[in-house]
Amino acid sequence: MREAELNDLDAVIAIARRGTFRAAALDLGMSTTALSNAIGKLEAGLGVRLFNRTTRSVSLTDAGRVFIEQVGPALQDVHGALEAVRSQQMIPSGTLRINAFATAARELLSPLVLEFLRRHPQVHVDLVTEGRLVDIVAEGFDLGVRAADLVPSDMIAVPLGRPQRYAVVGSPAYFAAHERPRLPPDLLVHPCIRVRLPNGALFRWQFEKDGQSAQIEVNGPITLDEASLARIAVLEGVGLGFFMEPDVRADIQAGRLVRVLDDWTPPRSGLCLYYSGRRNPSAAFRAFIGLARELGTKGGALGS
């Protein structure tokens, strides 16, 4: 099979998975026009339309659904065979796609990802951050990063450093005008930065101490869905914020933010790199897993 033909089949799968030509083109590293032309030529060769297209949406035709059902598994076998051949290479190369939530990506970028690129300059890392927990196999990722208790049971997990903690913080100016909360319910009289989860629900602040647990549904003047925006609001004195500790560790150490309720935020599950079992991992994949295990066993090289 010619590489061009295989790429056309990959393109069909990508469009079906992503739902738009634009998103699929970004995943494939090509222009939307080139992708559309490639699909048009494939459809012309097959004599059927695989997609119904409008200016607003793309959907599979009946023929397209049959095509995906029949070709999808076979295409995985073909890629598996090609990957088996490539796995024999001595020098890691190619692309690794990694899915992580934003806090984890920020914490791992320098000690793991950038160090890996320094060691293996022929590898390209495609790091995608999002809050929702995705099926990394179905979405075309090689690896995922999540808290240990969120890793699917059918995945292989590699621990990445120490357990994680939450932190409740406010600015010095805020606490100059407000009394510090001593217990989680005290937060109900404080303006707080509310956080919206990827599924649309509001996040409840979670606490635990001496076997007691509490979930507080805080109130406040603003609701945000990204930690970096919430951090700005807290630094500006708008209210209190609830963060993963790495997102505000430097601010606490520099005195820009003040931590409260520290004894109510014990360590939680640490981060894990995870992946599905594969028979013939590429040299790049093996090298990345090897580096993650190496750094993860150095007592703080990751997650510090």
User: Of the segments 73-77, 129-133, 262-266, which one has the largest average pLDDT value?
Assistant: 262-266
Tell which wins on pLDDT, 301 or 168: 168
Average pLDDT value for residue range 225-241? 94
Determine the pLDDT at residue 298.
60
pLDDT-derived band of residue 86, with 50, 70 and 90 as boundaries? low
Full-model pTM = 0.63
Using the predicted structure, report yes or no on whether residue 299 has a pLDDT greater than 70: no
State which CATH number among 3.40.50.620, 3.40.50.720, 3.40.50.300, 3.40.190.10 fits the domain covering 94-163+269-296. Answer: 3.40.190.10
Categorise residue 134: left if φ over 0, alpha if ψ from -120 to 50, beta otherwise.
beta
Percent of the chain residues topping a pLDDT of 70: 93
CB 233 within 8 A of CB 259: no
- Of 3-7, 94-98, 110-114, 119-123, give the lowest mean pLDDT range: 3-7
Using the predicted structure, report yes or no on whether residue 207 has a pLDDT greater than 90: yes
Domain boundaries, the chain: 3-86, 94-163+269-296, 166-266
Using the predicted structure, report yes or no on whether residue 300 has a pLDDT greater than 70: no
Using the predicted structure, report yes or no on whether residue 235 has a pLDDT greater than 90: yes
Q: What is residue 270's three-state secondary structure?
A: strand
Q: If you ran DSSP here, which 8-state letter would residue 185 be given?
A: G
Tell which wins on pLDDT, 147 or 229: 229
What is the 3-state secondary structure of 194-223? Answer: EEECCCCCECCEEEEECCEEEEECCCCCEE
pLDDT-derived band of residue 239, with 50, 70 and 90 as boundaries? very high
Determine the pLDDT at residue 87.
61
What value does the mean pLDDT of the chain take? 88
Tell me the C-alpha distance between 304 and 20, whole Å.
39
Tell me the C-alpha distance between 131 and 76, whole Å.
27
Pairing of strands 123-129, 94-100: parallel
Class of the CATH domain delimited by 3-86: mainly alpha
Query: Which amino acid is present at 176?
Result: A
Determine the pLDDT at residue 223.
96
**pLDDT single digits (tens) 19-52:** 889 888 888 888 989 998 989 888 888 899 999 8
Please tell me if the domain spanning 3-86 has the same topology as the one spanning 166-266: no
Contacts of residue 249, Cβ cutoff 8 Å, sequence gap at least 6: 167
Please name which of 178, 144, 143 lies closest in space to residue 284, comparing C-alpha atoms. 143
| Greatest pairwise CA separation for the chain in angstroms | 73
For tokens 């594969």, name the residue: 278
Class of the CATH domain delimited by 166-266: alpha beta
Average pLDDT value for residue range 198-205? 88
Pairing of strands 268-275, 143-147: antiparallel
Determine the pLDDT at residue 273.
93
Please name which of 178, 166, 151, 154 lies closest in space to residue 103, comparing C-alpha atoms. 166
Tell me the C-alpha distance between 290 and 284, whole Å.
10
Tell which wins on pLDDT, 199 or 209: 209
Return the H-helix or E-strand segment holding 294.
Answer: helix 283-296
**Torsion angle defined by CA atoms of residues 292, 129, 29 and 158, in that order, rounded to the nearest 10 degrees:** 20
CB 166 within 8 A of CB 242: yes
Using the predicted structure, report yes or no on whether residue 102 has a pLDDT greater than 90: no
Average pLDDT value for residue range 245-266? 95
Return the H-helix or E-strand segment holding 8.
Answer: helix 3-18
- Of 86-90, 155-159, 169-173, 180-184, give the lowest mean pLDDT range: 86-90
Determine the pLDDT at residue 1.
43
Using the predicted structure, report yes or no on whether residue 150 has a pLDDT greater than 80: yes
